[in-house]
Amino acid sequence: MNDAVKSDNILLEVRNISLSFGGVTALEDISFDIRRGEVRAIIGPNGAGKSSMLNVINGFYHPQQGEIWFDGKIRHHMRPHEVAKLGIARTFQNIALFKGMTTLDNLMTGRIIKMRANILWQEVWKGPAEREEVEHRQRVEEIIDFLKIQSIRKTPVGKLPYGMQKRVELGRALAAESKLLLLDEPMAGMNLEEKEDMCRFVLDVNEQFGTTIALIEHDMGVVMDISDRVVVLDYGKKLADGSPDEVRNNKAVIDAYLGVSHD
């Protein structure tokens, strides 16, 4: 287990979040926190509100009630791109890559929040614009090496197989060098081998770059193996919160999520 988990250093905290669409309640009074440097899993059956939770953290949905604290500060109503600038990156359940662009361009777009050169320099492709382009290219190439996707660098991502697209999407999120990385079902639809690769990447990102990770995943084996703490949602409510072992043995969780126990 990661050392940082032991310190009580909290990166993100959601307090009493409630979200509804019209009359439908998606989240009800949810509170939990994410500590610096940990791998935090959010699990729950389909429709439990996991993706909605990520969308709230992203600033894509705006909860009717509750507070979000990030990096020691309370966060007020914010658009998603402002949240991205604060240092929260994300991958999506259904791959949301920019299909018309190459792998390289997708990753470079991930760094857009860090680019500054103004439009006049961009027009002539000289001075700061060119320097900036090369500098970010170097960082992106490091990520390409890390994820071992050198060979598809200049392939339009629409043409890549599913597993590779998932990897490129992780790369795009990594390119932002965020403090918090949200992964929405990073292993959905993968075979065993691809899952193992992806687990390795997630753990390496966490250890090498020290990035805090929150992930949604359905594969319990994976969740229990790689996460430090798990929060369980069901029908928009929080069922349990704790270490994988605690959650595994929680009666409510077993009933609601893993199926009613037979003992």
**Would you give the DSSP letter of residue 205?**
I
Nearer residue to another protein within complex by CB, 4 or 117: 117
Q: How far apart are CA 79 and CA 233, in angstroms?
A: 25
By CB under 8 A, what part of segment 72-101 binds another protein? 79-81, 83-85, 89-90, 92-93, 96-101
Shortest distance in whole angstroms from residue 44 CB to another protein:
17
Q: How far apart are CA 32 and CA 42, in angstroms?
A: 10
Shortest distance in whole angstroms from residue 64 CB to another protein:
15
Give ∠ CA 58-223-160 in degrees, rounded to 5: 65
Nearer residue to another protein within complex by CB, 110 or 236: 110
Binding mask 56-75 toward another protein (x if CB under 8 A, else -) reads --x-x---------------
Part of the chain binding another protein (CB under 8 A), chosen from 3-11, 68-76, 117-125, 159-167: 117-125
CB 226 within 8 A of CB 39: yes
180 - beta bridge partners?
88, 212
By CB under 8 A, what part of segment 143-172 binds another protein? 172
Q: Which residues are CB-neighbours of 165 under 8 A, at least 6 positions away?
A: 95, 97, 157
- The closest alpha carbon to 233, from 43, 86, 84, belongs to 43
- The closest alpha carbon to 1, from 241, 206, 194, 164, belongs to 206
Check residue 34 for interaction with another protein (CB under 8 A).
no
Residue 30 host element (H or E):
strand 24-35
Shortest distance in whole angstroms from residue 90 CB to another protein:
6
Shortest distance in whole angstroms from residue 4 CB to another protein:
25
Q: How far apart are CA 117 and CA 150, in angstroms?
A: 27
CB 171 within 8 A of CB 98: no
Q: How far apart are CA 226 and CA 47, in angstroms?
A: 23
Shortest distance in whole angstroms from residue 69 CB to another protein:
20
Shortest distance in whole angstroms from residue 240 CB to another protein:
26
Residue 71, judged by CB atoms within 10 A of its CB (0-12, 13-18, 19+), counts as: middle
Nearer residue to another protein within complex by CB, 51 or 227: 51
Check residue 138 for interaction with another protein (CB under 8 A).
yes
Q: Candidates 37, 44, 63, 110: give the one binding another protein (CB under 8 A).
A: 110
Nearer residue to another protein within complex by CB, 14 or 176: 176
Q: Candidates 48, 143, 174, 176: give the one binding another protein (CB under 8 A).
A: 176
Check residue 133 for interaction with another protein (CB under 8 A).
yes
Contacting positions for another protein (CB under 8 A):
21-22, 51, 55, 58, 60, 79-81, 83-85, 89-90, 92-93, 96-101, 105, 108-110, 112-113, 115, 117, 119, 122-125, 129-130, 132-134, 137-138, 141, 172-173, 176, 184
